[in-house]
Amino acid sequence: MTTQDRQTLNIQLAQMLKGGVIMDVTNVEQAKIAEDAGAVAVMALERVPSDIRKQGGVARMSDPSMIAAIKAAVSIPVMAKARIGHIVEAQILEALKIDYIDESEVLTPADEECHIDKTQFSIPFVCGARNLGEALRRIAEGAAMIRTKGEAGTGNVVEAVRHIRTVNRETRQLQSMPMEEVMSFCKTNGLPYELALKVRALGRLPVVNFAAGGIATPADAALQMLLGCDGVFVGSGIFKSAEPARRAKAIVQSVTHWNEPAKLLEISMGLGEAMPGLEISDIPENERMAARGW
Amino acid sequence: MIGVLDLQGGVVEHLGHLHALGVPARRVRHPQELDGLAGLILPGGESTCLGKLLHQTGLDTAIPAAHARGLRLWGTCAGAILLAKAVEGEKPHLALLDITVHRNAYGSQLDSFTATAEVPPEISPAPVPLVFIRAPVITRTGPGVRVLLAVGDRIAAAADDTGGMLATVFHPELSPSLAFHGWFARLCGLTVPSPEALRGDDAAWSRESWTKLAARPGR
């Protein structure tokens, strides 16, 4: 199979995840709760972002035995995180035959200059982005799916909103500007030119884009759908809440019914305490995960 | 009109193919949206997720009721799992089509693949491209269910002609071919180009065709 055919198949798997919720899980029990709630995939990792934030230190790829146990326990796709630029962690995850690798800023970057050349892999990658340039650079490197980053582990949706709004605004700018301005816009904003032309023609990213980072309630998830995301990642938001199973099910429903306020009202009732939230301004600049990635 | 179940998964891809055929189509998320449909497509996605949402929306009883009144059904990939009477190791969902399916029979995403195969001439006189993504396999077909297509020794498509049901474990909506959508529309009694006229691939289709109807930048 050619590299392009493989990338098409990988983009198409993400297409099948549209309208769904991908949940962070740290053990088999949580993975089963996520699957029972209707998650379309699980992200297997040792610590959810809010714990990584609290405990500090270097966050690395999870122990593959833990990922393998989760893979054996559920029938839905399993994703796992490799550090930005950590080619070998990605090779190990590919050898484990999971379904998707997240080259993630939630882990401590292994390379402060280069991301992984994802075209060298058969396995699909999802990567984070804060703006159109970052999204298209990752796609140019071979990412088959994008997630607008948000600020993971905060329970605060403000950064996720900022990032999808930025992608949307830059997409509209790209579409409305005269052709002679496109190259200059690409230069200023770090957009690969050929992909920028594609976005200009399509009016959106050429791959599936999920929201991530700070989503804690069904309303947060529906807001991301309203802003044009194809689906939602929920990290700490579920298993750091008072009643994970109920909240997980409610968030799944909110992504399907995002444009039905009466239904969202019903879904949002009596879910117990959400995860505790953090003000972004209280997080020191050097501890903000979204800023990682280049 | 043909409906596409709009709970999760590859909805816009099917809508795009129906649109390319000139078949009127709409999304179905609530039981009342089944009214007046000749057929319903259950798209690919995650069958565990779709099964739960079917139950929560009441479509798990509304679809069989509408089917009993003549609504024709076509499930692709996860949709085929939803239709199956038996799912190996799991409880079935709608349990309407007398087949047994084995989920993720090929393995993980690394085992997803494409193929080209001959199909019955009433679907297409030319071989059609097939896209298998974490695909299930049909391991048994009951009486009255016709095997439409096998890839290697594995059943990839089956139909209950009298019951008006079709299951494909691959994704015709992810390929340029309109053959299966044309055939389903004809089963639903709608006027579409003949299989001969649909020969070959839809020239307008590209890898990004799905984006035409997918989520747009909001607000």
Amino acid letter for position A61? M
With CB atoms and an 8 Å threshold, state whether B133 touches A12: yes
Residue A228: the pLDDT is 97
Chain B residues close to A5, C-beta within 8 Å: 114
pLDDT at A1: 80
Pick from A41, A100, A256: CB nearest B7: A256
- Which tokens hold the place of B164? 């008006």
| Nearest chain B alpha carbon to A205 | B211
Question: Between chains, do A202 and B9 touch, taking CB under 8 Å as contact?
Answer: no
The lowest-confidence range among B69-78, B134-143, B210-219 is B210-219
Record the tokens describing residue A215, joined without a space. Answer: 């989503």
Closest CA to B10 of B155, B134, B158: B134
Which residue from A12, A17, A226 is facing B218, i.e. has the nearest CB?
A226
Mean pLDDT throughout B71-84? 98
d(CA A12, CA A187): 30
Which of A5, A38, A97 lies nearest to residue B110, judging by beta carbons? A97
Helix H, strand E, coil C: the string for chain A is CCHHHHHHHHHHHHHHHCCCEEEEECCHHHHHHHHHHCCCEEEECCCCHHHHHHHCCCCCCCCHHHHHHHHHHCCCCEEEEEECCCHHHHHHHHHCCCCEEEEECCCCCCCCCCCCCHHHCCCCEEEEECCHHHHHHHHHCCCCEEEECCCCCCCCCHHHHHHHHHHHHHHHHHHHCCHHHHHHHHHHHCCCHHHHHHHHHHCCCCCEEEECCCCCCHHHHHHHHHCCCCEEEECHHHHCCCCHHHHHHHHHHHHHCCCCHHHHHHHHCCCCCCCCCCCHHHCCHHHCHHHCCC
Q: What percent of chain B has pLDDT over 70?
A: 100
Find out whether B218 and B161 touch, Cβ atoms under 8 Å. Answer: no
Q: Is B212 strand, coil or helix?
A: helix
Q: Does residue B55 carry a catalytic annotation? A: no
Q: What is the pLDDT of residues A163-211, one digit of tens each?
A: 999 999 999 999 999 999 999 999 999 999 999 999 999 999 999 999 9
pLDDT of residue B95: 97
How many pairs of residues across A and B have Cβ atoms under 8 Å apart? 145
How many angstroms away from the CA of B42 is the closest CA of chain A?
12
In a 13 Å sphere around the CA of A245, the CA atoms on its Cβ side amount to: 4
Separation of alpha carbons B128 and B195, rounded Å: 11
Enumerate the residues of chain B whose CB falls inside 8 A of the CB of residue A9.
109, 112-114, 131, 133
pLDDT, tens digit, 9 for 90 and up, residues B84-125 = 999 999 999 999 999 999 999 999 999 999 999 999 999 999
CA dist., res. A78 & res. A176, Å (int):
39
Asked whether the beta carbons of residue A171 and residue B131 sit closer than 8 angstroms, the reply is no
Residues of chain A found within 8 Å of residue B171, distances taken between Cβ atoms: 12
Sign of CA dihedral B75, B81, B83, B84: positive
Tell which residue, A140, A162, A147, has the closest CA to residue A209.
A147
Please give the pLDDT value at position B199.
Answer: 76
Is A9 close to B214, i.e. CB distance below 8 A?
no
Q: How far is B183 from chain A (nearest CA, A)?
A: 23
Calculate how close chain B gets to A57, using CA atoms only, in Å. 32
CA-to-CA dists, residue A78 to A151, A163, A243, angstroms:
22, 25, 23
Q: Is the pLDDT of residue B219 over 70?
A: no
* SS3 at position B12: helix
Distance CA A42, CA B209 (A): 27
The nearest CA of chain A is from the CA of B144 a distance in Å of 30
User: What residue ranges define each of the domains in chain B, with the CATH number in brackets?
Assistant: 2-214 (3.40.50.880)
Contact state of A204 with B29 under an 8 Å Cβ cutoff: no
Whether B9 and A20 lie within 8 Å, measured CB to CB: yes
Q: What is the pLDDT of residue B203?
A: 86
Which residues in chain A touch residue B109, judged by CB atoms under 8 angstroms apart?
9-10, 13, 77, 99-100, 123-124
Instruction: Give percent of chain A above pLDDT 70.
Output: 100
Cβ proximity of A226 and A258 under 8 Å: yes
In DSSP notation, B49-92 reads: HHHHHHHHHTHHHHHHHHHHTT-EEEEETHHHHHHEEEETTB--
B171: closest CA of chain A, how far (Å):
10
- Residue-wise pLDDT tens digits, B167-190: 999 999 999 999 999 999 999 999
Residue B200: what pLDDT? 74
If one counts every other C-beta atom within 10 angstroms of the C-beta of residue A293, the result is 21
Mean pLDDT, residues A246-253: 98
Q: A77 to chain B: which residues are within 8 Å by CB?
A: 46, 108-109, 134
- How many other CB atoms are there within 10 angstroms of residue A97's CB atom? 15
Residue A283: what residue type? I
